[in-house]
Structures are given as C-alpha cells and as structure tokens.
Copies of this chain bind each other. A is one copy, B any other.
Amino acid sequence: MTSTRIYTAALMVIGDEILSGRTQDKNIAQLATWLNVQGIRLKEVRVVADDMAAIGEALNSLRAAHNYLFTTGGIGPTHDDITVDAVAAALGVPVVVHPKARAVLEGYYAARGGLTDARLRMARVPEGASLIENRMSGAPGIRYDNIFILAGVPHIAQMMLDALTGTLEGGLPVLSRTVGAFAPESEIADLLRETERAHEGCQIGSYPFFNQGRVGANFVCRSVDATALDACVGAVTEGLKALGYETVEGGI
C-alpha cells in the first residue's frame, strides 16, 4: 500500500575520476529515474573524492537526513577502492569478509585463476551488512541499514538496482508530463508562475533550449496526483496557445 508520506534519498558519488573531469557521471540520472518508480525522491547528491574523511563526513550527514542513502564507486579490487573501509570507519564497525560474498567470488573466479587476495577484497563488508546481488561480475553490492553501496560502473550499478526493485518502502511516485513550445522563457514567465500558483500540489519546471536555430523551452509539470497534473498541463497548454505559441505534448 502506498501512502502520502514522502520518502527521500541521497546519493554519494565516490571517485576522483568524476571530480577530475575524466569520467562523465551517469549514475545520478540513472538512480534518479529508478527512484521515481520506487516512489522515492532523490533530494541531494554529493560527489566526493577517494578520501576516507570526505566519504565519512558525507555519509553520516546524508544517512541521517534521508530515508535512504546510496553510494556509487570505490568497491573494486584496487588500492583506490576505499569505500568499504571509509563507510565502516564512519559507522564505527570493523570490516569483515562476508562468507556468502566469498563463496560467490570463489565460484565466479574458479575458472578464472582462483580467488587472489586482491579479488577477496571485493568480499569485504562493514560488519553486519547484507549483500546486493550482482549477476554481471560476481562482486556484490552491500546494504547496511539504510545505506546501499553500489558499483561505480553504471551498467553494474543498474543491475544492483534491478535486484533492489520493489524491495524499498516508498510513497506515491511523482508523475510528470512535459509540454514544449518555441516560446522564449522570458515571455511566458508570468503564465508559468500564475499557473503553478493556481494548481496546488503541482510544480512546473522550465527548461530552455536552442533547437533548429530557434529559442524555446520545455515545461515539465510534476505532481503525485494525476488529476491535478492533467489540469495543470491543460492550463499551461491553453495559456501558451492564448499567447500565440504552438505546443508540443511530450516536449521538443
């Protein structure tokens, strides 16, 4: 049963490769999209360096402020993978080898040269944690209380999210509908403000673009109430038409 309670989540992206500009993050949008379906709202993201203190500080701040905290990155076998150690230190618990994770990795590496010390690193968890299945490469994600520790490689993180689908308590999912128009934002700002004010429980976001040499914007209406959302989208559409703009349902 869904409720009107609002459930929030935060994401901590761990990795020097994001902060150096080497890697374009894809986990923020991926997690946000997945959370929407679970009825959970992503409220805050922090990107932190591969640094014990920075990870620990963000972890304790975010896990206290939100129902759920997800992390991505830093759980591989190399020396720069320090997420498990940093999380355990911040939680004040020791790091232990999880017997099931060890068994999974032994199976996975049986035909790949065996379980070396480096590979065994991927079975380490904060004491008391459970595992999140990873069908791709054997090395599991980790759950501890309301903390979900995922891989940094986006398609592995996605598999871990698949394994979590439907298991987290959430509220009503936020619905959204988009209307696009070749209307300069500055000419329809009043319309948007007044329409949002007139439709309680709805939010309107305005996202400008340059497309086919013309200025325009997409107007994204969001609400947990489908009827209110339809009324809001209708009002935006009618308002744009009254100002002489053609509208495109679904956005441009």
User: A78 and B185: CB pair below 8 A?
Assistant: yes
- Which of A37-45, A164-172, A225-233 faces chain B? A37-45
- The residue from B76, B119, B188 contacting A206, defined by CB atoms under 8 A apart: B76
Assess whether B118 is in contact with A190, with CB atoms less than 8 Å apart.
yes
Residues of A in contact (CB 8 Å), total: 67
Contacts of A204 in B (CB 8 A): 79-80
User: Which B residue's beta carbon lies closest to that of A42?
Assistant: B19
Indicate if A60 sits at the interface (CB-CB under 8 A): no
In the complex, which residue of chain B has the Cβ closest to the Cβ of A139? B186
- Bound CA–CA A13/B205 (angstroms): 16
For A20, give its contact among B18, B174, B196 (CB under 8 Å): B174
A23 and B207 within 8 A (CB)? yes
Does chain B have a CB within 8 A of A252? no
Q: Do A203 and B43 contact each other (CB < 8 Å), given the known contacts A21-B36, A118-B190, A189-B118?
A: no
Q: Flag whether A241 is at the interface (Cβ < 8 A).
A: no
- With an 8 A cutoff between CB atoms, is A28 at the interface? yes
Which chain B residues border A209 with CB–CB below 8 Å?
153
In the bound complex, do residue A189 and residue B79 qualify as a contact, i.e. CB atoms below 8 Å apart?
yes
User: How distant is the Cα of A76 from the Cα of B205 in the complex, in angstroms?
Assistant: 11
A127 at the interface (CB under 8 A from B): no
Provide a sorted-by-A list of 30 A–B residue pairs whose CB atoms are within 8 angstroms: A13-B45, A16-B205, A17-B205, A17-B207, A18-B29, A18-B32, A18-B45, A19-B32, A19-B41, A19-B45, A20-B42, A20-B176, A21-B28, A23-B29, A24-B26, A25-B29, A43-B49, A44-B46, A44-B48, A44-B54, A45-B45, A50-B205, A76-B186, A77-B185, A77-B186, A78-B185, A78-B189, A80-B203, A80-B206, A121-B189
